[in-house]
Amino acid sequence: FAGIITLPVVVHVVHNGEQIGQGRNISAAQVASQLEVLNEDFRRATGTNGFNNNPVGADIEIEFCLASLGPNGVELSEAGIHRYNGNKAAWTRTDIEGFLKPNTIWNPNDYLNIWTVDFEGESELLLGYAQFPSESALTGLPTSGGSASTDGVVVRYSSFGSSEKGSFSVMSPPYNKGRTLTHEVGHWLGLRHIWGDGPCGSDDFVTDTPEAAEPTRGCPAGKTSCGSVDMVQNYMDYSDDACMNIFTKGQKSRILAVMELSPRRKSLI
């Protein structure tokens, strides 16, 4: 691909009848703050929290824009936002996969679908999760990728957005700077967790991310494992939002390989 790729986004704001801007029915400003962070992080924008001076740090050269048109070509009253009353307070992952996504998804050939929800039950502690791409040609993709009716990412409403770009009462530290979406879109574009989801020796299929023994919480700079300093700043770790600031060149190649291989992501361009 030459130049910057821009992917249109729809955010399905799932609520329980709250007024716009209250509780789970998050404001357009909160959504906008999240899109800003996502773009700063993917573009490694100078002067933002998503900037780093690590020589392996990459500008992914992908941007995201709030869609201006809905599925039937109708102009949206709020760009990139679909408000949906799910008639319940909170959701399990099982309900989201089995009911919410298939009943609300917009054509994944045309949009990156994002759902903001409140989680409950076995999913209560989740910040978010993603569906991986399904291209078997790329090594190291989990087989969980797949159905077009569930394609996209899900993020907890209270971790969606950035408290640095506005005052959003549902958000609080340490997951209030928009990095959950950056992490989940990383998965959606084929990236694995930086520790390879296993002990030393487990692979994330990226050579310029050092091996790590386990996920890292907080921001312990200088932490070592597997004989090297852990890249706790990587968006694909579990560190605090304030800690994260890097995708590497190797992760970029993996993302671009998915973009080349994926009929769905290709058609979004």
Contact positions vs ligand ARG (CB under 6 A): 127-129, 175, 179-180, 183-184, 238-241, 244
Indicate which of Ca ion, ligand ARG, none lies near residue 206 (CB less than 5 to 8 Å, by partner kind). Ca ion
241 binds, among ligand ARG, Ca ion, none (CB under 5 to 8 A by kind): ligand ARG
Catalytic hit among 36, 40, 184, 211: 184
36 near Ca ion (CB under 5 A): no
Residue with Cβ nearer ligand ARG (168 or 175): 175
186, two tokens:
């990383």
Helices (H) and strands (E) in the chain — how many of each?
6, 8
Residue among 209 and 245 whose Cβ is closer to Ca ion: 209
Closer residue to Ca ion, CB minimum distance, 21 or 140: 140
The span from the CA of 88 to the CA of 28, in Å, is: 21
Continuous segment of H or E residues that includes residue 251: helix 249-261
Using the rule CB under 5 A, is 113 a contact of Ca ion? no
Interior angle at CA 139, CA 148 and CA 52, nearest 5 = 90
Task: Answer with the entry of ligand ARG, Ca ion, none that 40 interacts with (C-beta below 5 to 8 A by kind).
Answer: none
| Token pair recorded at residue 33 | 């703050």
List C-alpha distances in Å: 38 to 90, 213, 222: 25, 27, 26
| Catalytic annotation present for 184 | yes
Q: Return the active site residues.
A: 184
